[in-house]
Structure 1
Amino acid sequence: MAQINETAVEQNLNIGIADQDREGVVSILTSLLSDEYVLYTKTRNYHWNVVSPHFNDYHKFFEGQYGEIEVIIDDIAERIRQLGGKAIATLDELKSHARLPEHPGQYPTDREMFANLVSDQESIIRNLREDLEKSDKSFHDMGTSDFLTGLMEQHEKMLWMLRATAPTS
């Protein structure tokens, strides 16, 4: 769990969730925010660097995906703020909380790009399943659990689209 100090989570916010439980939820959301930034950056990188006979289609497809992730990032940061937390936003902070791998200096083929994004989406979905359960059962925050359920559904749809669009040969 990420270290959250008193300045990172406002104390005595009276919304029916104990301060320590809000700290736990903010920690979950901080890791998710970091993972979403990695996925966003990777998808944007692929948008810029894809080379394929289907370049135009893939270029536009990746743009649509990173656009959806950008909205998700903003929603997560705002959820953190709603809970009295501070949303991290520097690359160093994001990197230190991310669970998804990066691949610096690599320029994969179009097939590898899709495979990497499929793997990352699956990881995010698995983490969301665990995190939403923990938000509800361990930290007594049904609102965040519901929020994470919605994000999981969005990522499941994005995964479906990735699999349906991925090159087969």
Structure 2
Amino acid sequence: MGKGGKEKLKTPTDIGSNAAQTVADALNGILANSYALYLKTKNFHWHVSGPHFRDYHLMLDDQATQILGTTDQIAERVRKTGGTTLRSIGDIARRQTIRDNDAEFVSATEMLAELREDNLKLVEQLREAKDIVDEAKDNATSGVLDDWTDQAEERAWFLFEASRGA
């Protein structure tokens, strides 16, 4: 972006600039992890194998769709509060804390366990962001964080239950 480009994207907000930047940083971290989790979930969806193939394949596709569905909302919250958001795969890679899995083969049991832990890491990040946005008095972001937390908790629960006895 050229000189002064950030000023051209400035969105009016009543949230103080330091607080808005802190909110944007927290949300951009969540967004990067959401993309990383989305791609890992799709990877496992594409490569799951075994006796529960159909059930796991469908569950992982549903979960990936849900994760991807939050990404636009997250990015738009950043923009609505005056920030700028992710622009590239490289930007995601620099910010993500959920690790990729490039293994040639991962058992279905290991897939479910890894995704469960990743969703729980996302829940932890969402809870931390909740404190940040509440401090900034960003009520709208606070409300949607509750929804995203509930969704991630549900995914972790389903992954846990699907792996019982596996």
Would the alpha carbon gap of residues 33 and 8 (structure 1) be closer, same or farther in structure 2, given more than 3 Å must change? farther
Report the alpha carbon displacement of residue 85 of structure 1 after superposing the two structures with TM.
2.3
- Match status 1:78 vs 2:71: no
1:1-169 maps to which residues of 2 (within 5 A)?
A: 7=6, 10-11=9-10, 13=12, 15-137=13-135, 139-166=136-163, 168-169=165-166
Report the alpha carbon displacement of residue 155 of structure 1 after superposing the two structures with TM.
0.9
Report the alpha carbon displacement of residue 142 of structure 1 after superposing the two structures with TM.
2.4
| TM-score (normalizing by structure 1) | 0.88
- Distance in 1 between residues matched to 2:7 and 2:25, nearest whole Å: 10
TM-align CA RMSD:
2.0
Deviates more, 1:146-155 or 1:99-108: 99-108
- Distance in 2 between residues matched to 1:98 and 1:150, nearest whole Å: 21
Question: What is the one-letter code of the residue matched to 2:82?
Answer: G
- Distance in 1 between residues matched to 2:11 and 2:33, nearest whole Å: 29
After superposition, what is the alpha-carbon deviation per residue over 1:4-46, rounded to whole angstroms, capped at 9, x for unaligned?
Answer: x971894471x32112211111111100000001100000000
After superposition, what is the alpha-carbon deviation per residue over 1:48-75, rounded to whole angstroms, capped at 9, x for unaligned?
Answer: 0001111111111111010101101121
Structure 1 portions without partners, runs of 5+? none
* Identical amino acids, percent of aligned pairs: 28
Q: Is the 8 A contact 1:12 1:19 kept in 2?
A: no
- Distance in 1 between residues matched to 2:7 and 2:105, nearest whole Å: 37
Structure 2 portions without partners, runs of 5+? none
Question: What is the one-letter code of the residue matched to 2:6?
Answer: T
Question: What is the one-letter code of the residue matched to 2:145?
Answer: L
Would the alpha carbon gap of residues 153 and 8 (structure 1) be closer, same or farther in structure 2, given more than 3 Å must change? farther
- Distance in 1 between residues matched to 2:163 and 2:56, nearest whole Å: 9
